[in-house]
Chain A
Amino acid sequence: MSVVTLTINDELASANSGQSLLEVIREHGIYIPTLCHMDGLSERGGCRMCLVEVQGMRTLQAACVTEVAEGMVVTTHSERLRKYRRMTLELIFAERNHVCAVCVMNGHCELQAVAAIEGMDHVRFDYLHPDLSMDISHPRFGLDHNRCILCTRCVRVCDEVEGAHTKDVMGRGINCRIVNDLNQAWGSSQSCTSCGKCVQVCPTGALFHKGVSVAEMVKRHDFLSWITLGREKNEWNYTGQPPYYATERRKE
């Protein structure tokens, strides 16, 4: 494995070739928001939160899907990027019914945290108020489409880690929905193993444990790396750490 040298925000940084830009940026202690990225899952590049400016590239690059290269010059925070991140968040908040006050994840929500960190304090676009349903047919979990941001973490964890591939996306554009099997009620799904991984990786209150009330749902994203890397690290008991975004603060 060879080492490459790149410049991140005017400071020299080194990285192993093959690493993603996002990984390297975070290793160097720079906070960069993400919503669809999750350690332990394949990258998707869909939320557009981790966009960075790379010198010489025509377009902004999503750090999660960009490989580091020798001599890369990267800017992670600029007026332009901040503005675009805020606008992307505004679009997400306007898309569905993200009403924090009555959400099970209030106070523990990744979307909420990112919006706070990025300073998105109001939405200038029309709230679309889609008429969406909830699926509470599963005995233990619930799916609330109103809170879903289509990050597809649940789809990926179900396919890549659990191997069940119960969840997938149907429809296209604004009509995209997360579905179980072939758009069946979750409770009647034949393939779901009720492992609950999808609930734990969900960044918002879209997937939740039944029986929790407003602000009671806390998710443990780090359990995924414990599942996938615990054996290597000799960690046999899951101790759990507070979620990433709860400890990191934006470093100016």
Chain B
Amino acid sequence: MNRSDLQTLGERELAKQQSTGCRLLCCGSTPCLSSGGTAVQEVFKGILKENKDLKAELAVVSTGCMGPCSRGPLVRVQRQGEPDVIYEKVTPELAQEIFKKHVSGEDTNQAEANILPGDIPFFSKQKKVVLANSGLIDPERLEDYVAQGGYMALANALREMTPEEVCSEIIDSGLRGRGGAGYPSGLKWNLVRRAKTDKKYVVANGDEGDPGAYMDRTLMESDPHRVLEGMAIAGYAVGAEQGFIYVRGEYPIAAKRLEKAIRMAERRGLLGSRVMDTAFNFRIDIRIGAGAFVCGEETALMASIMGRRGQPIPRPPYPAQSGLWGYPTLINNVETFGSIAPIINNGAEWFAGIGTAKSRGTKIFALAGQVENTGLIEVPMGISLREIVFDIGGGVPNGHTFKAAQTGGPSGGCIPADYLDTPVDYDSLRELGSIMGSGGLVVMDDTTSMPDVAKYFMEFCMDESCGKCVPCRVGTVQLYRILERVTAGIATRNDLTIMEELCTMMQETSLCGLGQSAPNPLLSTLRYFRHEYEALIKDDLPLTSDRFALATSSVLPRQEVS
């Protein structure tokens, strides 16, 4: 398939969609499916089966994520010449009503209460670049993606741009890695491109593990072809012929859809050998993780792809110099790859026009915790935290007040209410002792105890430490035990001193990012909410039996002897 074939395919699909009188888009992403979305889809499909004559004017589409996940299952009704209507919390009974109102044309207002207005700040404050197709196309159909201009960026890059031009376009766009650290993507691409070896690899990191974060999952579930296209463009730019997508084992739907997408793209000649009738070959394979958080770290991820124990190795050498099987490897987050096609399509200048001077473009956040509207949002960089929490998120429910927002998961930190007007970008968040991270954003209200939050994240890091280096393996356990004492109200001032000393030591001596950033949630809560720790500390505490029991108890299970 070449460029004109692609255009024809897209136009034909678009014409078909436009000739359909009514399209019922049902969200088929994990949150909606888990809240009963399957049953709703069954109702619509059942109706379609019973009324064969409706086939020409009605289409039922299972799409990707629409955003407001807490209000699922969501159904979007697209009628020719009318604005879209989105229904929230749809039940099978309501689905019948929706059908009656929009397709049969009956005068029923039963479902009126469940209409989600399209002009609320949740939608209007967002800017969808990476998630542009999410919730509007069927992720399991290649034609749907092509109808939205999909694979055009790859076609144009292959036909009109040299690999060098592609790299400089990415550099000019100012795109920074969306996995959390924010390294300029274009520079990384250039490093790999310049390496002179007979083999190179491209890897998409879809091993998203932060608690409460699901940006990557949604992107892979809702628009898998976008990730594949970004990877193919990267492959062309750096000179790689093989790509891997590392998908977290807990994401079966994402893996299934990606697999299907790869098969379809290969069948159409958009991946595989001689991509779009050019001399460029690019294969993509999927690797499924086995439930280790540390495998999101790039060197551990590569070890896992190569079939080794998922443990990080010291850098340098960086993957761009020596990665998979010793060859230069380009590793980017799936969201980074998701931003590539729009940049190539609209130009670097357009992308650089969004966001702030040092952080360009948009960022997807998984908004969770104590806010009215939880869900997946994509906002321009530099938007204030206040806008995210109070406009898009709709504020803190049940009359409570905002206390802090946690970004970056177990590697990030808490941002207190005083800093609500801080622009959300890589550097501002780092200054506050937090990080952008992959995009988890958990809002906490005044009922939350900060030492509890720190303990929760420390427990997470303790469980996920790979055990290779001493500071992380033992340090996380020691910190967790101290936090356990703090939250139980039996810690002494000495514990607090040791805790702070250990935090700095772990940050400076751990081998990989997991251990280096594991103390961050603790340090940032100490920085802004020290009084909460102080209130729990008791000086001159006698050695009571509970304190003794906790101090001598073992967190380790007895080893099974074979």
Contacts and interface: CB of A to CB of B under 8 A. Distances in A.
B555 interface: yes
A126 B551 contact: yes
Contact of A145 (B313, B314, B559): B559
Nearest to B476: A173
Given A129-B554, A131-B559, A133-B558, 15 more contacts: A46-B468, A46-B511, A51-B509, A87-B502, A91-B475, A94-B478, A126-B478, A128-B474, A128-B555, A130-B554, A172-B294, A172-B464, A172-B466, A172-B467, A173-B476
Interface in B445-468: 462-468
Interface string A102-124: 00000000000000000000001
Sorted from nearest, which 7 A-B pairs have the closest CB atoms? Answer: A176-B467, A173-B465, A91-B474, A130-B556, A45-B314, A131-B558, A65-B314
Contacts of A183: 562
5 contacts: A47-B469, A92-B470, A125-B474, A174-B474, A176-B473
Interface in A169-220: 169, 171-177, 183-185
Contact of A45 (B473, B476, B511, B516): B511
Contacts of B313: 45, 65
A172 B300 CA distance: 13
Contacts of B481: 126
A38 interface: no
Interface in B531-562: 551-552, 554-559, 561-562
B557 A175 contact: yes
Interface in A122-145: 124-126, 128-133, 135, 145
B562 A91 contact: no
A92 B474 contact: yes
Most central of A62, A66, A128 by chain B CB within 10 Å: A128
A172 B475 contact: no
A172 B478 CA distance: 16
Interface string A57-70: 00110100111000
Interface residues of B, number: 42
Contacts of A169: 309, 467
Contacts of A128: 474, 477, 554-556
Contact of B498 (A66, A125, A129, A185): A125
Interface string A64-99: 011100000000000010011001100110110000
Contacts of B477: 95, 128, 173-174
Interface of B: 292, 294, 309, 313-314, 316, 462-471, 473-478, 481, 498, 501-502, 505, 508-511, 516, 551-552, 554-559, 561-562
Contacts, number: 122
A150 interface: yes
Contacts of B469: 45-48
A226 B129 CA distance: 62
Contact of B470 (A48, A66, A133): A48
A62 B508 contact: no
Nearest to A151: B470
A56 to B, nearest CB: 13
Nearest to B461: A173
Chain A contact residues (Cβ within 8 angstroms of B): what range?
Answer: 35 or more
Contacts of B508: 59-60, 80, 84
Contacts of B476: 173-174
Interface string A148-181: 0110000000000000000011011111110000
A45 B561 CA distance: 30
Given A60-B509, A84-B505, A132-B559, A47 B292 contact: no
Interface string A17-54: 00000000000000000000000000011111001000
A171 B558 CA distance: 13
Nearest to B466: A172
B101 to A, nearest CB: 54
Given A48-B471, A84-B508, A91-B470, A129 B552 contact: yes
Contacts of B474: 91-92, 94-95, 125, 128, 174
Given A59-B516, A87-B505, A125-B478, A173 B462 contact: yes
B486 to A, nearest CB: 13
Contacts of A94: 474, 478
B506 to A, nearest CB: 9
B471 A88 contact: yes
B511 A185 contact: no
A126 B502 CA distance: 13
Contacts of B309: 168-169
B468 A174 contact: no
